[in-house]
């Protein structure tokens, strides 16, 4: 048995978990500060210098907050639902390449926990599990608002996973591999967002719906469902749902960076491999700011329009984009891929605008 390999896996897993848990805590501060700046406010500034201890204060508050379990709830599922939601968010990160292989004590170490040759398939399989936690939370609470939030979440995730899967397909076709490290390596010269900008846009929109972020936060919808699927949760159980959402934000940003924005590649990485994680962190922070910016500026859309966007707009467009990508590769004319994809997106926007006008002026 290779004990060195076992120690390597254990250390990489622990480091990744600590980074994600710390990242979750300080992503909440990052979001609150960014929202405050966008909305011309101050944001948290009392707990510690510049408010940097605010996540610590929030954590202590949640640890000591009293937890309630509804008398008519299904106790076992009510307890398990937060765990079922948060674990997939952490496990997905195992296949994300955070940097190029490095030499440590004369041993070649990859900066990812597992470099699977079906990494994309693994991501999609694990990501679809988290919806069970949300649905079970809604059902186990025995609360009509929580149940509605859980049902909304299941419908929303099923709808947008189709477009998300086809966005994955475009990156797989361009890299000719389902292995995330190979997909990143294929972008050493040209990022896939340049070759397939529409596929990247579809991926980013679909991931917003997958992680229930505004304007797709229908499963929570405070004005309609008081808090949705986690209405009856408090204390650390609520904190686990909160952690799942923010950890998924970090992971999907890392996946977007790996699939379309060159991953850890940047100037000087070949000479100084430790620059890779730095470039990756910068890209993830920028993509996270994009999610926060969307939340600050766009209102929540109506539920029927949310479903229509997924089924009638994103899914057909993603199908067209996947076909165009395959056609460009088959003809060995990659310059056609971004051109035809942008044309397909333009035609789709015209059809959507025409449909809206017909409803307005009917």
pLDDT tens-digit profile, the chain (362 residues): 577 788 888 899 999 999 998 898 899 999 999 999 998 898 888 888 888 999 989 888 888 888 888 888 888 888 889 888 889 888 999 999 999 988 887 788 888 998 888 889 999 888 888 788 888 888 888 888 888 888 888 888 888 888 999 999 999 999 999 999 999 999 998 999 999 999 999 999 999 988 888 788 876 766 666 677 778 888 888 888 888 889 999 999 999 999 999 999 989 898 898 899 999 999 999 999 999 999 899 888 888 888 889 899 999 999 999 999 999 999 989 999 999 999 999 999 999 999 888 888 76
pLDDT of residue 255: 95
pLDDT of residue 284: 96
Tally the domains of the chain.
1
* Domain-embedded: residue 345: no
Do residues 306 and 156 make contact, with C-beta atoms less than 8 angstroms apart?
Answer: yes
* Domain-embedded: residue 161: yes
* Domain-embedded: residue 79: yes
* Domain-embedded: residue 314: no
Do residues 129 and 147 make contact, with C-beta atoms less than 8 angstroms apart?
Answer: no
Nearest to 247 by CA among 24, 15, 12: 24
Mapped onto helix, strand or coil, the DSSP state of residue 97 is coil
pLDDT of residue 33: 93
The number of beta carbons lying within 10 Å of the beta carbon of residue 161 is: 18
pLDDT of residue 29: 93
Please give the Cα distance from 188 to 194 (Å, whole number): 12
Please give the Cα distance from 143 to 89 (Å, whole number): 25
Tokens 């605008």, residue? Answer: 353
pLDDT of residue 36: 94
Please give the Cα distance from 298 to 279 (Å, whole number): 29
154 pairs with which residues across the strands?
A: none
H helices of 186-274, where?
192-195, 197-210, 222-225, 235-260
Rg (CA), the chain: 21
- Residue 172: which region, alpha, beta or left (left: phi > 0; alpha: psi -120 to 50)? alpha
For 109, the domain range is 3-304
Residue burial 296-313, b: 16+ Cβ < 10 Å; e: rest: eeeebeeeeebbbbbeeb
Find all residues with CB under 8 Å of 314, minimum gap 6, and list them: 160, 163, 202, 205, 206
pLDDT of residue 109: 85
* Domain-embedded: residue 271: yes
* Domain-embedded: residue 93: yes
* Domain-embedded: residue 319: no
Nearest to 187 by CA among 260, 118, 254: 260
* Domain-embedded: residue 262: yes
Write down the number of H helices and E strands in the chain: 15, 2
Tokens 């919808």, residue? Answer: 221
Locate 114 and state its tokens. Answer: 């597992």
Angle at 121 between CA 137 and CA 129, to 5 degrees: 5
pLDDT of residue 362: 65
Do residues 338 and 196 make contact, with C-beta atoms less than 8 angstroms apart?
Answer: yes
């Amino acid at each position: 048995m290779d004990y060195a390999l076992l120690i390597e896996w254990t250390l990489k897993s622990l480091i990744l978990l600590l980074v994600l848990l710390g990242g979750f805590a300080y992503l909440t501060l990052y979001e609150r500060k960014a929202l405050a700046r966008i909305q011309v406010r101050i944001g948290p500034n009392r707990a510690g210098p510049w408010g940097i201890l605010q996540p610590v204060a929030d954590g202590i508050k949640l640890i000591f907050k009293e937890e309630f379990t509804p008398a008519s709830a299904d106790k076992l599922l009510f307890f398990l639902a937060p765990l079922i939601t948060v674990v997939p968010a952490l496990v997905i990160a195992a296949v994300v390449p955070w940097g190029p292989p490095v030499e440590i004590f004369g041993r070649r170490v990859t900066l990812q926990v597992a470099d699977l040759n079906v990494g994309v398939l693994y991501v999609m399989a694990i990501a679809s599990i988290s919806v069970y936690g949300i649905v079970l939370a809604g059902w186990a609470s025995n609360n009509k608002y929580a149940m509605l939030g859980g049902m909304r979440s299941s419908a929303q995730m099923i709808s947008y996973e189709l477009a998300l899967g086809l966005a994955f397909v475009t990156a797989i076709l361009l890299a000719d591999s389902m292995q995330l490290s190979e997909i990143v390596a294929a972008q050493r010269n040209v990022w896939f967002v340049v070759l397939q900008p529409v596929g990247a846009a579809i991926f980013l929109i679909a991931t917003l719906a997958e992680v229930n972020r505004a304007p797709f936060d229908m499963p929570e919808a405070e004005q309609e469902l008081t808090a949705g699927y986690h209405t009856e949760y408090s204390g650390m159980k609520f904190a686990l749902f909160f952690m799942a959402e923010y950890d998924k934000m970090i992971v999907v940003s890392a996946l977007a960076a790996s699939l379309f924005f060159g991953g850890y590649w940047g100037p000087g990485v070949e000479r100084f491999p430790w620059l890779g994680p730095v470039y990756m962190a910068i890209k993830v922070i920028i993509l996270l700011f994009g999610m926060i910016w969307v939340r600050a500026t766009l209102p929540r859309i109506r539920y029927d329009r949310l479903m229509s966007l997924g089924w009638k707009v994103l899914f057909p467009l993603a199908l067209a984009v996947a076909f165009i990508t395959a056609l460009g590769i088959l003809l060995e004319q990659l310059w056609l891929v971004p051109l035809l994809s942008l044309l397909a997106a333009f035609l789709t926007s015209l059809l959507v605008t025409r449909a809206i006008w017909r409803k307005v002026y009917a």
